[in-house]
Chain A
């Protein structure tokens, strides 16, 4: 087994204390939620924090509460399993429950947290490797080097957004509560990500994600989540897609949006209101939506699966998700 580098371990009892610790240690500190991604990455030498600030001691960060005015507030340290099994989540946000239950394995779902998933580091086949392996290849732009092995002329890192829950959260209009030494702010989950896989999130130094806020579902809207991966468990996706349509499927849609992930540093959001407005969700429209969703995605060799295949599968996956809404049996995947 690989060794975990040495670190100090702090367990604050309240958010204020946690934020003070993060401010005190600055870049030397990392937040430890479930640890299912951070600890393996530390073993690979991707992070060597002096201090891990654990979220374990803060009851206020765990659990799912009803929000005023409808919707739910999910503590950032709530496990993916607790989210996936919550009756309110299952009733109101089935796509989120689906997404949580496709993460890795049951055991990891019981350890990993929603906050940890939302802030999952970007991934790349040239980055998520041991220190020895990266030494043998030459370090990359994201960690210790000056060249991107995926796109050698790229000034920015191409590591991909890979969090299973994020496409659905974006379509749900979820917000994130961020607390820092200077105060707190609430921002859309969609705004948390950037186009550079190295500096991939928009959190300010020392900020802590404390809650994911789920607004009440819009009447007449439906969201579906889909994941493609090589095997049926213990696998990151090579493609994530979530689809939302609003309005009357047979009479006429009012809006539609698609989020595709695992294709670049941030989830690719495609608004399709103009395309769908007033049209019923026919097979032809489903095909058009699928093409439109695939157009802006430019998968690269960040994964073991061929980029051209992943691009092609965006169309298939999105169309099949829409077919499911239409009640078509072909949508097996």
Chain B
């Protein structure tokens, strides 16, 4: 038996997703589609103050309003939580003080939404405002103002300091030192579907919560803890989810409140966030201020990197402790680095909490490093692609900070993308105000360690076959639109030789499906993919013995393909009923021969990769994806507007299980990168978020999105399922720096601050013109070391 016999395979072929038709026809059921008998509607009262003590809450008038069934406040759900075990700093409703505009203060359940809203207006809250911390600088200097009064390190969520080798020695060896400062702006996810949860506590003492979550398993644990209900009696169901991008990776107040309000009323309770509430829930990309110093030899060899960053974390930790590690650990890739030092400091501010967004924690430093590489190339007179190739990490190596590298096809990505785009022919030759730029990047395929300490598997898949010929896959994964259902089905189909049409994938239901840690850190294809692969092989093994006995061959000789099972050395027997069986017959034969049902579990646990270093539990991954992108831009010198003419994206995804879905993920990444490069910014009026709407928060429309050419490169990772690696996040990392490097090629200005708004570009162009005019009149100035002219 082989997984890839000579017979044609559906794996690696372009195909529509298994779960596509219900979504495009509107038949798919999302959380807000749920209407349960006697269901109440819940609403949450939010703080209009950024930092204030809650002196008094009086809910008596709200409770007295006809149609109101329950009102709860902080003391009713006092158990603390937080997605990361070391930073439990949230409660569902705030107790004693509020830390941002939009903080949750009380929740009501009423017969309808209008009554619930009327009840909110009747809740009286007296606030005593406190001084606000709005910037990283304030957070670090105002020791008199504490956002979390019991925090160990004042307003610092986390400081990470790591050092590998002596960077000063590295700088002494270097011929060029490039040193610069960067600012990467905060941004948010804007999933099409706003967060929604339905809680249903039933008289048998069991709680069911339907929620638009990326993390059914972690939500399950936190619901049990915060509600004080044994986890064995809590069920989380993830309906179809209208995207997350990291924005649905935390447990959220609406889930706890819907559950508690249901427990108090005995009726199902639904809470759906408005778009504005999603902006306050946030957990988006951290704003990073960065300082970066890199030494490079004339040969192009990088000798050392020294790097510091400051993260504006907002009011709560969310994933911030992890972000603080991701802020630095991936800088040792994809360029071999002999010496490295980094420091990351994440602080609390009185603003919506930052968290994980696509390319979590790695997007911002990647921006800085990829501009730095081009600056070094300019200073040395080396081609930027050559400089990258010169330092490219090799397969089967270990980075200076102990990351284990398996498959790498970055050089192939660089080749593909430069060839397709004509990078070398175009660079410096496109004429005034037109330019081309390149960047490369890497990302993880899931974290080697789960969020809480556990030796258990990270993914388990259960598979059931029966005489109907159907194959049912039960997985705790959370398809949020990225295609994990399709991935599970297609891998199983490949092993069992059947069509995905005959599959049922049941996922994201903690009662029915085995544990999977969820959709974050680009882990699902690698981990759940390996789990379903193992389950499918075990099921096939259960069929193979009885079928081989029936057909008179050895089990290992059987081929499963096109719903047929036959001895592989006789291709002509494939459709001959005397010498082969249909898949359905095969199941019948196996059931009859064994008197047992057919089914199996498959699991995946990442390899235990020891590290020589302390403090390195965050960063190691079983594999890494690689990306190279080229952007071609035109800059309008009078308006400062950048139009992106085209983006070429080459991505080493290991193996494209369904290329159509992988291309979709790459395109989505580029799209999101274009938004962060050109449009999206977090502007505050004091502590008030300026644009909590999708009219004023400018994500790109289709007209703002350039043509995207996706080039898939397959490195066949030795440990990935059929060689597959991630594709959902990594491709975004290259987009923003590729655009910045193209703007430099077009104009000679470095955009060290995102987004590259027209007014900023114009200001940079004017500064350059002024400097040039001055340069012409002044005596010849010495050339600066490196080329770190900021904007």
Chain A positions within 8 Å of B, measured between CB atoms, are 1-3, 6, 125-126, 128-130, 132-133, 135-137, 149, 228, 230-236, 304-306, 308-309, 312-313, 316, 320, 332-333
The smallest C-beta distance from B67 to any residue of chain A, in angstroms, reads 15
Given contacts A125-B696, A137-B688, A316-B638, contact A2 B679 (CB under 8 A): no
Surface stretch bound by A, among B74-82, B700-708, B782-790: B700-708
Could you pull out 20 A-B pairs where Cβ atoms are within 8 angstroms?
A1-B272, A2-B276, A3-B113, A3-B114, A129-B693, A132-B276, A133-B276, A136-B48, A136-B688, A137-B685, A230-B679, A230-B698, A231-B679, A231-B698, A232-B704, A233-B702, A234-B695, A304-B683, A308-B759, A333-B639
Hey, which chain B residues are within 8 Å of A236, CB to CB? 695
Give Cα distance in the complex from A149 to B685, angstroms: 10
Residues of A within 8 A of B704 (CB): 231-233
Q: Which residues of B contact A128 (CB under 8 A)?
A: 696
Chain B residue nearest in CB terms to A137: B688
Question: Which residues does chain A contribute within 8 Å of B685, judged by CB atoms?
Answer: 126, 137, 149
**Contact A332/B691 with A132-B48, A231-B679 known, Cβ cut-off 8 Å:** no
* A residues less than 8 Å from B639 (CB atoms): 228, 313, 316, 333
Please state if B698 and A136 are interface contacts (CB–CB under 8 Å): no
Known: A2-B274, A133-B276, A305-B759. A233 touches B117 (CB 8 A): no
Q: Is B101's beta carbon under 8 Å from chain A?
A: yes
Residues of B bordering A, CB below 8 Å: 46, 48-49, 101, 113-114, 117, 194, 272, 274-276, 636, 638-639, 641, 679, 683, 685, 688, 690-693, 695-696, 698, 700-704, 758-759, 762
A-B CB proximity, top 8 nearest: A232-B703, A136-B48, A309-B759, A233-B701, A231-B704, A316-B638, A230-B698, A136-B101
- Residues of A near B759 (CB, < 8 A) are 305-306, 308-309
CB-CB < 8 A to B695: which residues of A?
Answer: 234-236
Give chain B residues whose Cβ lies under 8 Å from the Cβ of A308. 759
A232→B701 contact, CB < 8 A: yes
Across-interface contacts of A333 in B (CB, < 8 A): 636, 639, 641
CB neighbours (8 Å) of B636 from chain A are: 332-333
Of the candidates B114, B641, B690, the one whose C-beta lies within 8 Å of that of A125 is B690
* Nearest Cβ on chain B to A256's Cβ, whole angstroms: 21
Whose C-beta in chain B lies nearest to the C-beta of A320? B638
Contacts of A126 in B (CB 8 A): 685
**Closest CB of chain A to B673's CB: distance in Å?**
15
Q: Which residues of B lie under 8 Å from residue A3 when comparing CB positions? A: 113-114, 117
Which chain A residues border B49 with CB–CB below 8 Å?
A: 136
Interface of A is mostly: loop
Q: A2-B274, A125-B690, A306-B759 are in contact. Are A135 and B48 (CB under 8 A)?
A: yes
What is the CB-to-nearest-CB distance from A73 to chain B, in angstroms, rounded to a whole number? 33
Name B685's closest neighbour in chain A (CB-CB).
Answer: A137
A309 touches B276 (CB 8 A): no
- Cβ of B645 to closest chain A Cβ, rounded Å: 13
Distance (Å) between the CB of A41 and the closest chain B CB? 12
In the complex, what's the smallest C-beta–C-beta distance from B561 to chain A, in angstroms? 47
Interface centre among B194, B691, B759, B762 (most CB of A within 10 A): B759
- Closest Cβ of chain B to A50, distance in Å, is 16
In the assembled complex, the Cα of A151 lies from the Cα of B703 at a distance in Å of 35
| CA gap between A149 and B688 in the complex, in Å | 13
Q: How far is the CA of A135 from the CA of B691 in the complex (A)?
A: 15
Cα A234 to Cα B758 in complex, Å, equals: 18
**B758 touching A309, Cβ below 8 Å:** yes
- CB-CB under 8 A from A309, the residues of chain B are 758-759, 762
Alpha-carbon gap, A99 to B702, bound state (A):
20
A319 to B758, CA, bound (A): 18
A333 and B637 alpha carbons, distance in the complex (Å): 12
**Alpha-carbon distance between A125 and B641 when the two chains are bound, in angstroms:** 22
Which chain A residues lie closer than 8 Å to B275 at the CB level? 1-2
Checking B272, B276, B690, B700 against A231 with a beta-carbon cut-off of 8 angstroms, the contacting residue is: B700
Please, which residue of chain A has its CB at the minimum distance from the CB of B686? Answer: A137
Complex interface: chain A residues within 8 A of B691 (CB): 125, 304
**Complex contact A231–B701 (CB within 8 A):** yes
Name A132's contact: one of B46, B700, B703 (CB within 8 Å). B46
Which residues of chain B come closer than 8 Å to A305, judged between CB atoms?
Answer: 759
For B276, what are the chain A residues with a Cβ–Cβ distance below 8 Å? 2, 130, 132-133
State A299–B636 Cα separation when bound (angstroms). Answer: 22
Q: Give A97 to B194 CA distance when docked, in angstroms.
A: 36
Q: Is the pair A231, B48 in contact by a Cβ cutoff of 8 Å?
A: no
Contact of B688 among A133, A304, A312, A332 (CB under 8 A): A133
User: Is B688's CB under 8 angstroms from A233's CB?
Assistant: no
Q: Measured between alpha carbons, how far is A165 from B241 in the docked complex, in Å?
A: 39
Query: How far apart are the CA atoms of A81 and B109 in the complex, in Å?
Result: 43
Chain B residues in 8 Å Cβ range of A228? 639
**Extra 11 A-B pairs, beta carbons < 8 Å, given A125-B696, A308-B759, A320-B638:** A3-B117, A126-B685, A128-B696, A132-B48, A133-B276, A230-B679, A233-B704, A304-B691, A306-B759, A316-B639, A333-B639
User: Shortest Cβ distance from B766 into chain A, in angstroms?
Assistant: 10
Contacts of B702 in A (CB 8 A): 233
- Chain B CB within 10 A, most for which of A132, A149, A308: A132
Complex alpha-carbon distance, A125 and B683, angstroms: 12
CB distance from B713 to the nearest CB of A (A): 32
Complex interface: chain B residues within 8 A of A2 (CB):
274-276
Least Cβ distance of B553 to chain A in Å?
61
CA distance A316 to B274 in the complex (A): 39
Cα separation A230 to B759 with both chains bound (whole Å): 11
| In the complex with contacts A133-B688, A309-B762, A304-B48 CB distance below 8 A | no
With CB as the reference atom, state the residue of chain A lying closest to B46.
A132
Write the nearest CB–CB distance from A325 to chain B, whole angstroms: 18
What separation, in Å, do the CA atoms of A232 and B679 have in the docked complex?
11
B31 → chain A closest CB, angstroms: 13
Q: How long is the Cα–Cα vector from A234 to B117 in the complex, in angstroms?
A: 29
Please give the distance in Å from A239's CB to the nearest CB on chain B: 10
Nearest Cβ on chain A to B595's Cβ, whole angstroms:
55
Contact, CB under 8 Å: A233 / B703: yes
Contact residue among A130, A231, A313 (Cβ-Cβ distance under 8 Å from B703): A231
B758 — which chain A residues lie within 8 A by C-beta? 309
Q: Which residue of B lies closest to A230 (CB)?
A: B698
Minimum CB–CB distance for A237 against chain B, Å: 13
A residues near B117, Cβ cutoff 8 Å? 3
Docked-complex contact B101 and A1, CB < 8 angstroms:
no
Interchain nearest-CB distance for B687 vs A (Å): 9
Chain A residue with the shortest CB-CB distance to B700: A231
CB-based nearest B residue for A2: B274
Least distance between A128 CB and chain B CB atoms (Å): 8
B638 surroundings in chain A (CB, below 8 A): 316, 320
Complex: chain A residue closest to B697, CB-CB: A304
Q: Which of A2, A126, A136, A137 has the most CB of B within 10 A?
A: A136
B254 to chain A, nearest CB (A): 15
- Tell whether A235 pairs with B274 under 8 Å between CB atoms, given A125-B690, A133-B692, A136-B101: no
In the complex the two chains form, what is the Cα distance from A236 to B695 in whole Å?
9
Give the CA-CA distance A52 to B639 in the complex, in Å: 42
Nearest CB of chain A from residue B748's CB, rounded to whole Å: 21
Residues of B within 8 Å of A306, CB to CB, are 759
For residue A233, which residues in chain B have a CB less than 8 angstroms away from its CB?
Answer: 701-704
CB closest residue in chain A, given B759: A309
Chain B residue at smallest Cβ distance from A306: B759
Give B101's nearest chain A residue, CB to CB. Answer: A136
Give A6 to B638 CA distance when docked, in angstroms: 49
B703 cross-chain contacts in A, Cβ below 8 A = 231-233
Residues of B within 8 A of A149 (CB): 685
Q: In the bound complex, what is the Cα–Cα distance between A9 and B317 (angstroms)?
A: 48
A216 to chain B, nearest CB (A): 34
